[in-house]
Structure 1
Amino acid sequence: MASNPTVVQPHAASVQMPSEFKTEYHPRSARATLYQMFDEFGITQEMQHAPVDEEPWRPFRSRGDFEFSEIALDAALNKSQINALLELISRIAQGQAQITLKNETDLSRAWDNAAAELTPFSKHEVPVIYKRKEQEYEVHTRPVWDWALDLLDNPLLAPHFVWDACRVYKHNGTDFERFFNEPWTGDRWWDIQSSLPPDVENAVPFCFILYADKSKLSSHGTVKGYPVVVRCANLPVDIRNGEGFGGGRVVGWLPIVPDDAAEEGKLGYTTLKRVVWHESFFKLLEHVAQHSKTGYSHKGYNGIPRWLFPVILILSADYEEQCMMSLIRGRGGKCPCPVCLVPLAELHDLSKSYPIRTVEEAQEALRIYGCSKAEGEQILKALGLRPVANVFWLILRSSPHDALSLDRLHSLHAGLWKHLLEELKKILDLSKQTLYPALNILMHRASPVGHQRFAWIGLDLHTERTLAAIDAELLVFDAELKVYTRPNEKLHGPLKGHLSPSNEWKGYRDASKFTRYICVILRLIHIIHNCIDRYFALGDGGLDEDIDVPVAFNGHVKLGSPVPPLDILGVESRGQTDRAFQSFRRKFSEFINNALPTYGHQLTSWLHPGDFKIHEHRYLKVTMSRLWTGGKIPTTFGATPKFHGRPRFDHALIQLTAEETAFVQLIFMFRCHISNLGPFEFALVQPYTARVGPRRTDSTFKLTRVKAVPRSSSILSRAVLVPDSEHQDEYFVVDHIDGDMFLRMKHI
């Protein structure tokens, strides 16, 4: 129901395509190409028949044993307390709970049995020779392959493992377009599976994701180490990135060579740190390295035997740790990229491509170094490599240079923003929101420096078109960067120093531009605080009103937070302060009498809503489908004059007709009972469909601008709109708030 008197007539639903998703499986899987509808995509037959664990308390002998042991642990009971409690329970339980424990020894045995079900940590001593003296470093590890076996033996996880590479496509109305949303949909998994021994039946990769980062091991920060976290890439993202079964686990703590001011900067000391790291990491991967060559036979819960070949698919780390993992010499080396051989002096030119680093190339350089240090050092120096054997070389198909890539978390969220906008870290998701208020002050005439292109690479799902768009935008950014930085011949100043806080902006020649830019940043702090407070109404959780039991309609939509009912005249009285409610009774009457018949409700006479009781709701929860992946997104909306002390009237993208979508602002959500037809739910909305002329800003930044009609339908997605301060009733669509909205806007 729109806020103007025009009644939108729903159109007949268009004919649905025979299939929306196509999945091509790797030839070695012997699986036919699969075509699926939207609601079927992502659901496999194995998931449909997932086993139910009838005895989740195992390895305890009964549920009563498990519950008692949990209570004993929570209460930190001592031996005498445990014995006394067991004696009491044995006398009074009388079959109400099956407790087989008789004494503390039984409980300890049960705990020991439970602990044996998971791989324990082990301590190792790693000997390393430095300056002709042997030094030992302590490593605590849980072997990665033993952790993998724990996952494989879990019947609740078994249906969710994905073994075969595939290429997935979604029909865009013209043809099938490929997209990438899980590791097994990428080319690397496909290539790895193609390289497995052809004579081994059902050979599949078991893919690991490893994360390592230097961290403090004590509250005082005096003890440091490298915690190593492992995840299984064969499990879906919501499982492997979760905190429950199948989520990431710490599998080791690698030692750090103590600081030595006298040795710092010397080649031998720098090499020692790398040797200790890689020798220690081997304790984690010892069995993985062996099985990567021979494979590991495993029979799943469905009885299908597979030969698993472990692979390090992804190495997740910031740049400092990437240097350690790839054994490059860092930003001071001649080739500072851990992935390719781009020379230091050519880092600024994004239009050029360079060869990818290879394991064979590094191994050959190290072999020459072993024969002749002088000759080998020259080759290693030219490649930007350290004279150390890489632990990942021991694992077939696991080149660290293929496994590494841009770390978005450290590079963007904690890198660029950390250095430039330290004070703004307090605001949630600032990097996604800053652009729009910035447009109101970084105008082309006022600040040519600030009026540069912004790029977004943080989508959680990519398609062939988005990847091509990123390649194109990188070239645009490259051209802008060259104009702004005026790079000198070697670019050592602006491109080496900009990563260091102490050398921030060193190399920029125009001091007035830099000063103006900083002033812009300071103004942004004030504007963004106001923007967040006013338009996003960040609070400490929930609506001010208690959310009642939601009212459900159409299965995926629920209303909540009701307020006392009003008659329709009481609603119309709001028109004194809000024009959207003027003539509410007449407009509502026209709407229901014209709209209800189109939805199959037969009317014998004109409905007069004068006696209707209007039950307002200020909370809406909608379970929506993602545009590409078919997954579900639970999303909440608010339409209330008071949300943590401020108005909150959310925006949404709705299906206006069968062929047309529109952005709207929710003004008034309500339900009412219509005689002889039952209860119905409605929303009064303000459409953002007014005609708006082109603006220079829109074409420059590739923005979508919408304008509200004067205030006088199924939801597709929640929307964030930011006002343009120079043009009344005009808004920018925040299309990169998440990947789904970005793709919807491209689709629209």
Structure 2
Amino acid sequence: SIQPDDIKIEYHPNSGRVPSIQRFDEFGKQDHIQSQIPLSSTPWQPWRSRMDFEVASLALECHMNEKQTNKLVNLLNHAARGLDAFTLKDHKEIQNIWDLSAERLTKFQRADIVVPYRNSEPEPYELHYRPIWDWLQELLLDQKIVSQMQWDAQRLFKFDAKTQTWKRFIEEAWSANAWWEIQSKLPAGAVPLCIVFYADKIKLSSFGTAKGYPVIVRCANLPMHIRNRAGTDGGRVVGWLPVVTEDAEHSGKADWANFKNTVWHESTGKILESIVEYSKVGYKMKCGDHIHRHLFPCIIIESSDYEEQCVICLTRGLRSLCPCVQCLIPKDQLMDFENEYPMRTLEQTLRILNDAGKKVSKGDKEEVLKQYSLRPVLNAFAKLANSDPYFGVSFDNLHFGSSGLWGDHIFEEAKVQFSNRESMTAIDHRFKIFPRWRNLHHFESSVMRSSFNDGSKHDDISRLFLFAAYSVTTEKENKAGYTLLKVMRKYINMIMYADLNVHTSDTMTAGRDSIEDFISTLQVYVTQTADREKPKAWNSVIKIHYFRHLYNDIENKGVLQGMSTKPNEKFHGPLRKIYLWQTNFKDTAKQIVRIEHQNVVATHIWDAIEALDKYHQQETDVPDDLESVLDNVHFTMGSKLKSLTFGELEDSGTIFARLHIRVSEFLSALLTTLNHHVQIKYTRNDSVTPYQFLNVRYESLDTWRLAVDYLRCNPKFQDMILSFSMARLDSRCLHNYNIYLCAQWEMSNIPLPLCRHTKLCISMRGHMLTRILVFFAFARSRHWS
């Protein structure tokens, strides 16, 4: 029978699979993958020993240059030899063996991209690339990796007991609409092999004079928590695009911009070349899990910032007539969320290019393309089946939310509205004293007087700013400034829904409503600031408009986590370190891709070594009694303090008054059953052990999977004193009055969290902070538990 929260899975008809229903607790759990017998007992070869490989891998990981590597090798050669031999001689030998090891995986190839510009002699541009199909085959032939892939499009539903209906939800790309549509175009039994494509120009040197242009791909058939991580099953650099230097003679000219875009698409076309034919006719192969599949590779998501999306889609950018890469909205109507505008498609674009090509004069051709903000260049993605770039470009929460709409616009407006010294000082102070929390930046220095390039810092500032600024002004003192605080509240709500890891039909409806609320509140602010000497042109902010496409992207391609640029931008730091520490700053592209490939090979060898070690480890059954009451599947207590008596704890402050009596009463009631009465009685002389850290594992209502929270009540955590007196609510939140105790009874440890209750202030219900900014105030309660 159907139970509340049951999950129903409908598979694409071409799969031949019947629908299934799973219990909520079982949904999303991976089937156990049987351990493979290691292919080699010496996976570190061609290194002469495991010790040699580990030392070389350490030198690579630490970005050691030749001088540092030779010094490390000399030190080890002078050391006494242990059970394993260390035989390396110097940096040169290490590099030679790395080159031998490089044959394990798909190596970079070099190609010269030649594109003519006007009547000048064509200049070859150097491209380094890995054929994408070779990378895909590495994944498909790996039994462990391919066993975790999903192939068939799915429609997922959760049973809502309240309405007695099945409600659809979306998570991974295969649960969204695009995958279903792609599989509908394939032969029966065939499956999509979907790719996430990312490219971005990065600064390699501190002053930005040296640049790199990596292309990174991920396999969307793998779950997000796998493909978004580092490792052989995560992202892979498959290209190092040529950087066309800006020449003062040509800068700003339309034909020079077209030339640079042509170089980009010719280079990208070379990277994609190996999958063009297979995207149309498919490829049949036996995968690493011994299953024969008919595979059709395609690009389902292009993950990038706005500037890169314009290059991918060959549009003319922010100042053009139609700046959006997904639709044809005019440039001065970007805040229009009421009217519908035509969507761009690859088919439509090819037709426009064809019409423009029929024009005789250059001016007539330009006139046709200009009204659609298109460039006269053939798109590299047009050669692939089921890979429409205008559909693939996606909302990115980093560039369009945190660093974009918030960092470039709302935050800058806050600096204008709250620019007086008193307000800035108060806001900075509250940021400084805000309690530290896991995965939350702490801002010691000024926030209001600083600029941030880190999108994750902008994200944290956007979540905290309202709590730091809510009292610096009133509606009477600064009407526009107070409206901006309302805008911030609407922005937080909008981002909260957007960032959900699982989206149901209900949350998407609420999310769309939150965008409407944000836009209407922002329009009030725009009106109130229209009489400025230089009013902000909000109608031209492209990153506001992108929120219009947000939930369409989620419905078509899955939640934002799968489209985010964040996992790919984590490559920037290591690539920059390779340039700074391991090249001679000459002909750097060749050196960078060589060392980047060594990193990939090292990861692959380490995976094999760990699998070999695991295989040789004797598996022993874990005794049932090994699990401790202080360390089990549900929670772990830590930060243990010295044991003391109840009396000592009670004498330390009134908050612990009568603690031994309250604990006795609580445990007696807890352990008493209908058939057995338990009477526990502690005295002031009985000992108790305090703990100040609790690791709690629970089922997340956001991800529907196991999550972990760290709860701390250390009086001094990360150098910040948390006093045991009631601190101001706006600065200390609810950190106070928590301590975790371990009492003993009949030789058993009994863990107990001691918490002081708080209660919602009834008097605040009509307050403007509750009504307008949706703040809730809590006060101390006399009750403890």
What TM-score bracket applies, with the shorter chain setting the length? Answer: 0.7 to 0.9
Question: What letter is aligned with 1:120?
Answer: K
**Equivalent residue pairs, number:** 623
CA shift digits 1:257-311 (9 cap, x unpaired): 2212232222211111111111111111001222111112232233221111111
CA shift digits 1:70-111 (9 cap, x unpaired): 3356577999x999x99x99xx99xx6699999999999975
User: Which runs of 5 or more residues in structure 2 are unaligned?
Assistant: 60-65, 413-447, 544-626, 725-733
> Where do residues 149-160 of structure 1 align in structure 2 (5 Å cutoff)?
149-160=137-148
**Distance across 2 between alignment mates of 1:351 and 1:50:** 54
> Where do residues 61-76 of structure 1 align in structure 2 (5 Å cutoff)?
65-71=49-55
CA shift digits 1:681-724 (9 cap, x unpaired): 101112234462523433434556554423669xxxxxxxxxxx
> Where do residues 672-687 of structure 1 align in structure 2 (5 Å cutoff)?
672-675=743-746, 678-687=748-757
Question: What letter is aligned with 2:642?
Answer: P
Match of 2:591 in 1: none
1:360 aligns with 2:347: yes
**Distance across 1 between alignment mates of 2:97 and 2:159:** 54
**Distance across 2 between alignment mates of 1:298 and 1:704:** 59
Of residues 424-433 and 291-300 in structure 1, the stretch that sits farther from structure 2 once superposed is: 424-433
**Distance across 1 between alignment mates of 2:320 and 2:541:** 16
Of residues 455-464 and 105-114 in structure 1, the stretch that sits farther from structure 2 once superposed is: 105-114
**Distance across 2 between alignment mates of 1:347 and 1:481:** 13
> Where do residues 268-347 of structure 1 align in structure 2 (5 Å cutoff)?
268-347=255-334
2:168 to 166, 171, 178: 178
**Distance across 1 between alignment mates of 2:314 and 2:280:** 23
1:444 to 460, 465, 475: 475
Is 2:45–2:101's contact at 8 Å kept on the other side of the alignment? Answer: no
Match of 1:494 in 2: 537
* CA apart distance, 1:213: 1.3
> Where do residues 120-139 of structure 1 align in structure 2 (5 Å cutoff)?
120-133=107-120, 134-139=122-127
1:351 aligns with 2:331: no
Partner-residue secondary structure (3-state), 2:194: strand
Of residues 638-647 and 138-147 in structure 1, the stretch that sits farther from structure 2 once superposed is: 638-647
TM-score norm. by structure 2 comes to: 0.71
Of residues 478-487 and 238-247 in structure 1, the stretch that sits farther from structure 2 once superposed is: 478-487
> Where do residues 560-599 of structure 1 align in structure 2 (5 Å cutoff)?
560-576=638-654, 580-598=655-673
* CA apart distance, 1:588: 1.8
| Residues 25 and 628 of structure 1: CA distance in aligned 2, closer, same or farther (over 3 Å) | farther
Partner-residue secondary structure (3-state), 1:636: strand
Match of 1:614 in 2: 688
**Distance across 2 between alignment mates of 1:17 and 1:609:** 48
Higher fraction of strand: 1
Is 2:51–2:86's contact at 8 Å kept on the other side of the alignment? Answer: no
* CA apart distance, 1:126: 0.8
* CA apart distance, 1:347: 1.4
Partner-residue secondary structure (3-state), 1:668: strand
**Distance across 1 between alignment mates of 2:57 and 2:212:** 29
Is 1:692–1:707's contact at 8 Å kept on the other side of the alignment? Answer: no
**Distance across 2 between alignment mates of 1:414 and 1:348:** 19
Q: Over the residues paired in the alignment, what is the CA RMSD in angstroms?
A: 3.9
Partner-residue secondary structure (3-state), 1:471: helix
1:192 to 182, 185, 188: 182
**Distance across 2 between alignment mates of 1:56 and 1:445:** 75
| Residues 573 and 331 of structure 1: CA distance in aligned 2, closer, same or farther (over 3 Å) | same
Is 1:184–1:190's contact at 8 Å kept on the other side of the alignment? Answer: yes
Question: What letter is aligned with 1:139?
Answer: L
Partner-residue secondary structure (3-state), 2:106: coil
**Distance across 1 between alignment mates of 2:177 and 2:474:** 42
Is 2:326–2:343's contact at 8 Å kept on the other side of the alignment? Answer: yes
Is 1:664–1:686's contact at 8 Å kept on the other side of the alignment? Answer: no
Match of 2:211 in 1: 224
1:469 aligns with 2:510: yes
Match of 2:450 in 1: 423
**Distance across 1 between alignment mates of 2:270 and 2:449:** 39
Match of 1:20 in 2: 6
Match of 1:51 in 2: 35
**Distance across 1 between alignment mates of 2:56 and 2:331:** 61
1:669 aligns with 2:669: no
> Where do residues 73-112 of structure 1 align in structure 2 (5 Å cutoff)?
111=98
Partner-residue secondary structure (3-state), 2:124: strand
Match of 2:572 in 1: none
* CA apart distance, 1:256: 2.4
Is 2:313–2:390's contact at 8 Å kept on the other side of the alignment? Answer: yes
**Distance across 1 between alignment mates of 2:650 and 2:535:** 68
Of residues 680-689 and 600-609 in structure 1, the stretch that sits farther from structure 2 once superposed is: 600-609
Match of 2:396 in 1: 407
Partner-residue secondary structure (3-state), 1:298: strand
| Residues 195 and 692 of structure 1: CA distance in aligned 2, closer, same or farther (over 3 Å) | farther
Partner-residue secondary structure (3-state), 1:301: coil
Is 2:51–2:85's contact at 8 Å kept on the other side of the alignment? Answer: no
CA shift digits 1:462-488 (9 cap, x unpaired): 222222122222222332333332499
1:632 to 706, 715, 719: 706
**Distance across 2 between alignment mates of 1:300 and 1:649:** 60
| Residues 402 and 16 of structure 1: CA distance in aligned 2, closer, same or farther (over 3 Å) | closer
* CA apart distance, 1:492: 11
Partner-residue secondary structure (3-state), 2:739: strand
Match of 1:459 in 2: 499
Match of 1:394 in 2: 383
**Distance across 2 between alignment mates of 1:601 and 1:58:** 63
Match of 1:540 in 2: none
User: Which runs of 5 or more residues in structure 1 are unaligned?
Assistant: 1-14, 501-548, 651-662, 714-748
Is 1:313–1:398's contact at 8 Å kept on the other side of the alignment? Answer: yes
* CA apart distance, 1:33: 2.6
**Distance across 2 between alignment mates of 1:102 and 1:330:** 54
| Residues 706 and 394 of structure 1: CA distance in aligned 2, closer, same or farther (over 3 Å) | farther
Partner-residue secondary structure (3-state), 1:688: strand
Is 1:126–1:139's contact at 8 Å kept on the other side of the alignment? Answer: yes
Match of 1:10 in 2: none
2:237 to 235, 250, 272: 250
**Distance across 2 between alignment mates of 1:58 and 1:145:** 28
Is 1:312–1:398's contact at 8 Å kept on the other side of the alignment? Answer: yes
* CA apart distance, 1:394: 1.0
Is 1:336–1:384's contact at 8 Å kept on the other side of the alignment? Answer: yes
| Residues 564 and 624 of structure 1: CA distance in aligned 2, closer, same or farther (over 3 Å) | same
| Residues 603 and 493 of structure 1: CA distance in aligned 2, closer, same or farther (over 3 Å) | closer
**Distance across 1 between alignment mates of 2:85 and 2:4:** 55
**Distance across 1 between alignment mates of 2:678 and 2:371:** 87
Is 2:216–2:239's contact at 8 Å kept on the other side of the alignment? Answer: yes
Is 1:641–1:647's contact at 8 Å kept on the other side of the alignment? Answer: yes
Partner-residue secondary structure (3-state), 2:147: helix
Question: What letter is aligned with 1:700?
Answer: I
Partner-residue secondary structure (3-state), 1:160: coil
2:19 to 33, 52, 57: 33
Partner-residue secondary structure (3-state), 1:330: coil
Partner-residue secondary structure (3-state), 2:264: helix
* CA apart distance, 1:590: 1.6
* CA apart distance, 1:19: 5.3
Match of 2:769 in 1: 697
| Residues 463 and 446 of structure 1: CA distance in aligned 2, closer, same or farther (over 3 Å) | farther
Higher fraction of helix: 2
Question: What letter is aligned with 2:499?
Answer: L
**Distance across 2 between alignment mates of 1:192 and 1:391:** 19
